[in-house]
Structure 1
Amino acid sequence: MKKTSFNLELIIDLIILLLITVFLLGYFSPQYLLSKTTTTGGDTASHYNTLVYLKNILFPQGKIMGWMQGNYAGFPLFYHYFPLSFLLMAILSFIIPMQIAFKLGTVLGIFLLPVCVYACCRFLKYKFPIPIMAAIFSLVFLFNEGNSMWGGNILSTLAGEFSYSLGLSLFFLLFGSLYYGIREQKLYLFNAVGIAVLGMCHAVTLFFLGVASLFFLFSPRPYQNLKYLLGVFGLGFLLISFWFIPFVWNLQWVTSFVFPWSIKSFWAVLPPLLLPFFVLSLLAMIFNFQDKRSHYFLYTIALSLLIFFVGPQVGILDIRFMPFFQCLIVVFGATMIVKQLPTIKATKLLPFIVMIIVFLLIKSYSSNVSAWVKWNYEGFEQKSSWANFKELNDYFAQGPSGRVLYEHSPANNVFGSLRAFESLPYFAKRNTLEGLYMMASITSPFVFNIQSETSEKPCHPYPNYFYSSFSLEKAKPHLKLFNVSQFIARTKMVKQALAADPDFRLEKSAGDYQVYRFLKNSDQYVEPLTTKLVFSTTNDWRKDAYRWFANYEDGDSFLVFADGRDPRTTALPHYRTPRVSSIISNESINIRTGDTRFPLLIKVSYHPNWKVKGAKKIYLVSPSFMLIFPQEKEILLTFERGMYNYVGIAFSVLGLLLLLLQLPGFKKLREQLSPAWLERLITGCDDSWEGKVKKIGITKLLISLTIILLILFALIFYHSRNYNSFYLMKRARQAYGSHNYVKAVKLFGRVVKLQENLGAANEAGLFYALSLNAQGRYTEALKAFDQFIAEYPSSYWTPQAYFELAWTYQALGQQDKAIKAYQDVVRNFPQTVWKDYALKRLKKLR
């Protein structure tokens, strides 16, 4: 009878999982998922070329990591992004068209989440119908429309976070399997392989699983649990070392993007659709607080909030941990009925009732998912603007070899994504500046500075860098530096500025877009340098390079970030500039120079994996390019694996051998090896180690760890309050907004002095002067404004600084100087609102 009941429960579970899939397909129509079109929508559109590059360029070389030239002046692909989703898509594309494989890969995490949540609760040994109810509840999280950028839910996935989505699903699977494996001392290989797979999905989900697993150290069997965790995580990391070790080593060559995410409303965290399930979660905590599984959930929920609040202080993007909080509380709500199960008679009917209620709730609250799915998966080719977009791409495909710059504009979304032109390397086989994987590139801050100089509505993505206001004059040296030959303009302001500038020539009009040729560009990726080179041994080359770039003019000296020197570092104006030709390929650069006396600037991003023949070494040169001193007239640069790549491969081979030794077919070989040796190799532990820990006592260790953590949090709080620019600026803005200008001067001045964050220091410099003005300290304010303008002659805040400088002169009765400062605003910043303000003041003064 019990077996029959179990079979019926399993059948009900499978039926409901099938109905959940059907429900999801009601939104993710096969009409769009199975159409052979190129996916659009947010970041997702820019991911497609990555798949194409992986399959067509890297796979034939036997690699999954390499160099991509198309965006950000080149960047290392998959050295700072997660390859698993793309690997699955690429493999699937050998069977079905690549466009369809990509679409299926992007929704895989969505369809897997209910299944993985169900499996999680089964591993946690919750009785029927709790696992299937938890799976149903997970739909509520998926259809939550409170955000579209945090990750995990459908809108975030459609916006491009599909790797995170898959990682979140696998997190729940391993969240349950680790609990079961540790409790039963089973699933060693399953969990080890799962950890490896999770790591290649998304680093955040792996990190969170790792810290969540510390829960098992607070148990009656801490030593045994620790050995199990070291074993599965150790083997898991060995298996992915071929990718993970290069990933970690490459962190020194990425651009940090960490800041405290501002959540402006309680309803963003717990929107109306999630709120009832939060209440269920609270009831589950009250009713089942003695249940160890509840402790596991509550510990992990609390951990997600803790990391959210302290994450930015330790270099972690906090918002990626909020989806864990949301999904965990929704799923945990299903456990409310644990103690009531024996009294519930219609347990077989209950999941169907719950499913219908959840389906109706989703139908009532979800308003955007269907439209977003259609927008993404009907593809570029089905948009009404496709003919216009195709015309532009076909035109660029026949163009010069230089890079294509485009104006950043929300209007670009008409093609299917605001980032549509990031796919020029795919559609037109042309290199452009901007791209999706901005953290993977050391060049991205400079690219976004150019964007601010050439767009009416730039995005300013990095808060730790300052930006410019619109200025073609300031942009021209930068465009030449980046070998920009063509410029796509969208807005009226930018078109008018280009039309009035003799250095740009209109080449083509297509719909609302105009293409201008930049006449001052050489269309060369490699050029001989005739200016002086300055060798720099700075401790922070990024800040120095960015300041250099912000003020760069034609003829300026370049900064070479190296200890050594070369005799060819001085200007060579009395020699005839040699003819230099180059061929830029995917992972190689062929150069021919007519004179080896001239150093060569290679307008491609620097990375240590670039190797050179025909020169002694490759130097990092401002802004973030490569410089060589040729020893031969024929030079070849190739992007190759580094030593850390081979170390990673060796560790992965070791991991595979250890994995094989655990399989039943290798029992004899395993018995021939020393069990103690094998255990030490996998876990780093042996009996003597355990004895030492026991001698100390796990309680003492945990108390010591708690004290250390409390001290660490206190230090983090002190540091953030007094030395972290983000939090200092928050306090300074609050003081300024409440007219506490004395405090504002102190805080803004501290940010300026720290120079820890270039973007914050730039803004703080202006508001430091404004705060002095507000106190009537005009003489000090004049000095502060002058100092700001000297340091930031063309930043976003500079037009306002000139305007406020003029106002300060007025306040001091120095009318002539005020008029001159207002005229500087009109002359130097004609495309800003400050020009209009200055004209009004000038009219009154005259």
Structure 2
Amino acid sequence: MMVIGIYQSAVWLTTFYRLQQLGRKALIEQSVEGIKPLSSISENPKFNLSWITAFTVLVVGIIGFRFQEMPFGKITTNAAGETIYKWGFVSTKATNDGFVDGWARWNFTGYEGKSAYAEYRAVVETMKNIGQDPNLGCGRALWENNGELNKYGTTMSLMLLPHWTKGCIGSMEGLNFEAAGTTPYHFITAAAMSKQSSNPVRELRYDDNNAGLGVRYLQELGVRYYMAFTAEAISQANMQAALVKIAQSGPWVIYKVEASDLVVPMSVQPVIVTSKVGDPKERWLEIGTSWFQHPEDWAAVPVANGPDSWQKVEAVVDLNRRQGEPSDSSRRVDIVKPSESVNKVELSPVQVSNTVLEDEAISFTVDRVGVPVLVRMSYFPNWKVENAEGPFRVAPNMMVVIPTSNNVRLHYGYSLIDYFAFFMTFLGVATMAVRWRGRQVERKRKSLSR
């Protein structure tokens, strides 16, 4: 951007100088006859070539000298015994302290260049074999969050599990990261299932190193496999009945999470919950985390909307459990609870089968219609459903559908804002094309008039 700015400044200053010259000439001659229209210096190929050459030499020179990698440069020892870097008549103290030397070297040696590559490859192959085992199969995996994983090349190296396993083993941190509405719940779960997690999402109430709570979190998020790394996490995992050890690779112990299917029948009718207090941007986060971490406060799972026949309640802040005020650095997200008793409406049993997960769709079969079914897929307004009502957003950030046919399919589609964005993109491209064509016609007209 700096180079572009300097280039444009040079063009504008040159144009301004030439306009001044033309103005003086017109004043002296008291006439504008014979004055030809100015052409921009940016249209001069020689000027552009000279500019590119000069800046290329300058940039290469600065970077090359800074990192002491100039052609014909050499490291020598002077009379005082100091090691210097010399390039022609220019010299400086020799150093390897380039501000990105180590970072670049670490990144560009790749996974294979790390001393722990064999360990990394082994655990990836183990997960790949688990996915190919017909008795286990594909599914989402959550691994213990630990800074020591940087030895593989990055602490995010296991996000590549879907890549190495051809989409069979999903990475929870890769699936629900950054912009997903499920991100907070992933990190709450990672904290509970890790000895020492990074806990990056602000103001959450983390349950650090507590697998007793974490197992339920795994189940609610539809996590099929848990990968423990430290002795502390492994010890806690071994005490959980819902975690079944299925493999080990180096320091990693892999467990299958029981009762973590992606599509499950609901036993109690959801309750529609609204909230009129607190930060509007965090109202669903308050509802979602409150149910996720304190289900004992809720007789039914909260949903954002649903059929008129479902009970509606308002969520209120539990001031007795508030931590910090909204402006305090110590603040934690509020715990909310229903303002009135929730009527527990038992639902008829439903059998779910033939669940198929695709890249942008999920389908399943039910033996009874009209009964809500929970789909453990991160909610977003773009989800559309066939042969069912919904999808309705349900805590923490999943979906509920009410089948109207035995075969149900959800797919990720387009919303009105998507279509509007497509239209604006087309309009922008069309405008650029029209303006470009107009400039071509104008240039041709000017060349013919000379």
TM-score (norm 2): 0.66
Partner letter of residue 525 of structure 1?
L
Partner letter of residue 369 of structure 1?
V
Correspondence list, 1:56-95, <5 A: none
Counterpart check, 1:557 vs 2:300: yes
| Mapped partners of 1:644, 1:482: distance in 2 | 28
User: Is the Cα contact below 8 Å between 1:536 and 1:563 reproduced in 2?
Assistant: no
Partner letter of residue 123 of structure 2?
L
Q: 1:454 aligns with which of 184, 193, 196?
A: 193
- Matched residue SS, 1:517: strand
| Mapped partners of 2:67, 2:242: distance in 1 | 61
| Mapped partners of 1:662, 1:574: distance in 2 | 62
2:88 match: none
User: Is the Cα contact below 8 Å between 1:568 and 1:599 reproduced in 2?
Assistant: no
- Matched residue SS, 1:589: strand
Q: 1:606 deviation in Å?
A: 0.7
| Mapped partners of 1:572, 1:354: distance in 2 | 70
Note the alpha carbon deviations across 1:637-691, whole angstroms, 9 max, x for none: 1111212222222222222222122224676699xxxxxxxxxxxxxxxxxxxxx
| Mapped partners of 1:652, 1:452: distance in 2 | 41
Which has the larger displacement, 446-455 or 380-389? 380-389
Counterpart check, 1:117 vs 2:24: no
2:161 match: 424
Counterpart check, 1:608 vs 2:381: yes
1:406 match: 143
Note the alpha carbon deviations across 1:266-295, whole angstroms, 9 max, x for none: xxxxxxxxxxxxxxxxxxxxxxxxxxxxxx
Counterpart check, 1:385 vs 2:116: yes
Q: 1:619 deviation in Å?
A: 0.6
Q: 2:396 aligns with which of 623, 632, 643?
A: 623
Counterpart check, 1:633 vs 2:406: yes
1:34 match: none
User: Is the Cα contact below 8 Å between 2:382 and 2:415 reproduced in 1?
Assistant: yes
User: Is the Cα contact below 8 Å between 2:176 and 2:182 reproduced in 1?
Assistant: no
Partner letter of residue 477 of structure 1?
R
Partner letter of residue 372 of structure 1?
W
Partner letter of residue 291 of structure 2?
W
Q: 1:120 deviation in Å?
A: 2.7
Structure 2: 5+ residue runs without aligned partners?
A: 18-56, 69-84, 86-91, 132-136, 277-282, 313-342, 444-450
Note the alpha carbon deviations across 1:777-803, whole angstroms, 9 max, x for none: xxxxxxxxxxxxxxxxxxxxxxxxxxx
Structure 1: 5+ residue runs without aligned partners?
A: 1-115, 126-176, 185-347, 671-846
- Matched residue SS, 2:385: strand
| Mapped partners of 1:571, 1:606: distance in 2 | 24
Partner letter of residue 590 of structure 1?
S
User: Is the Cα contact below 8 Å between 1:401 and 1:523 reproduced in 2?
Assistant: no
1:202 match: none
Note the alpha carbon deviations across 1:66-121, whole angstroms, 9 max, x for none: xxxxxxxxxxxxxxxxxxxxxxxxxxxxxxxxxxxxxxxxxxxxxxxxxx534432
Percentage of pairs with the same residue? 20
1:547 match: 290
1:830 match: none
1:598 match: 371
Q: 1:490 deviation in Å?
A: 0.9
Higher strand content, 1 or 2: 2
Correspondence list, 1:663-674, <5 A: 663-664=436-437
Note the alpha carbon deviations across 1:443-475, whole angstroms, 9 max, x for none: 000111011111111111122322112211111
User: Is the Cα contact below 8 Å between 2:393 and 2:400 reproduced in 1?
Assistant: yes
Higher helix content, 1 or 2: 1
- Compared with structure 1, are the counterparts of its residues 470 and 536 closer, same or farther at alpha carbon in structure 2 (3 Å cutoff)? same
User: Is the Cα contact below 8 Å between 1:660 and 1:666 reproduced in 2?
Assistant: no
User: Is the Cα contact below 8 Å between 2:393 and 2:399 reproduced in 1?
Assistant: yes
| Mapped partners of 1:637, 1:560: distance in 2 | 18
| Mapped partners of 2:93, 2:410: distance in 1 | 55
Q: 1:181 deviation in Å?
A: 12
Q: Greater relative contact order: 1 or 2 (C-alpha under 8 angstroms, separation 6 or more)?
A: 1
CA RMSD for the aligned pairs?
Answer: 3.6
- Compared with structure 1, are the counterparts of its residues 668 and 615 closer, same or farther at alpha carbon in structure 2 (3 Å cutoff)? same
Q: 1:368 deviation in Å?
A: 6.2
| Mapped partners of 1:120, 1:596: distance in 2 | 64
2:41 match: none
- Compared with structure 1, are the counterparts of its residues 181 and 473 closer, same or farther at alpha carbon in structure 2 (3 Å cutoff)? farther
Q: 2:97 aligns with which of 366, 371, 394?
A: 366
- Compared with structure 1, are the counterparts of its residues 621 and 392 closer, same or farther at alpha carbon in structure 2 (3 Å cutoff)? same
Q: 1:644 aligns with which of 414, 417, 435?
A: 417
Partner letter of residue 622 of structure 1?
A
1:532 match: 269
Rg comparison, structure with higher value: 2
2:252 match: 513
User: Is the Cα contact below 8 Å between 2:302 and 2:394 reproduced in 1?
Assistant: yes
Which has the larger displacement, 594-603 or 648-657? 648-657
User: Is the Cα contact below 8 Å between 2:369 and 2:405 reproduced in 1?
Assistant: yes
Q: 1:364 deviation in Å?
A: 3.7
- Compared with structure 1, are the counterparts of its residues 353 and 665 closer, same or farther at alpha carbon in structure 2 (3 Å cutoff)? closer
Partner letter of residue 256 of structure 2?
R
Number of residue pairs the alignment of both structures matches: 338
| Mapped partners of 2:227, 2:64: distance in 1 | 50
User: Is the Cα contact below 8 Å between 2:110 and 2:153 reproduced in 1?
Assistant: yes
| Mapped partners of 1:389, 1:536: distance in 2 | 45
- Matched residue SS, 1:542: helix
User: Is the Cα contact below 8 Å between 1:477 and 1:554 reproduced in 2?
Assistant: no
Which has the larger displacement, 375-384 or 422-431? 375-384
Partner letter of residue 138 of structure 2?
S
- Matched residue SS, 2:218: helix
| Mapped partners of 2:62, 2:183: distance in 1 | 52
Note the alpha carbon deviations across 1:188-246, whole angstroms, 9 max, x for none: xxxxxxxxxxxxxxxxxxxxxxxxxxxxxxxxxxxxxxxxxxxxxxxxxxxxxxxxxxx
Q: 1:369 deviation in Å?
A: 3.0
Q: 1:478 deviation in Å?
A: 1.2
- Compared with structure 1, are the counterparts of its residues 356 and 473 closer, same or farther at alpha carbon in structure 2 (3 Å cutoff)? closer
| Mapped partners of 2:298, 2:182: distance in 1 | 21
User: Is the Cα contact below 8 Å between 2:347 and 2:371 reproduced in 1?
Assistant: no
Note the alpha carbon deviations across 1:330-377, whole angstroms, 9 max, x for none: xxxxxxxxxxxxxxxxxx99x979985895779647256333223212
- Compared with structure 1, are the counterparts of its residues 615 and 353 closer, same or farther at alpha carbon in structure 2 (3 Å cutoff)? closer
Partner letter of residue 549 of structure 1?
F
Partner letter of residue 418 of structure 2?
N
Partner letter of residue 221 of structure 2?
F
Q: 1:595 deviation in Å?
A: 0.9
User: Is the Cα contact below 8 Å between 1:409 and 1:456 reproduced in 2?
Assistant: yes
| Mapped partners of 2:294, 2:4: distance in 1 | 57
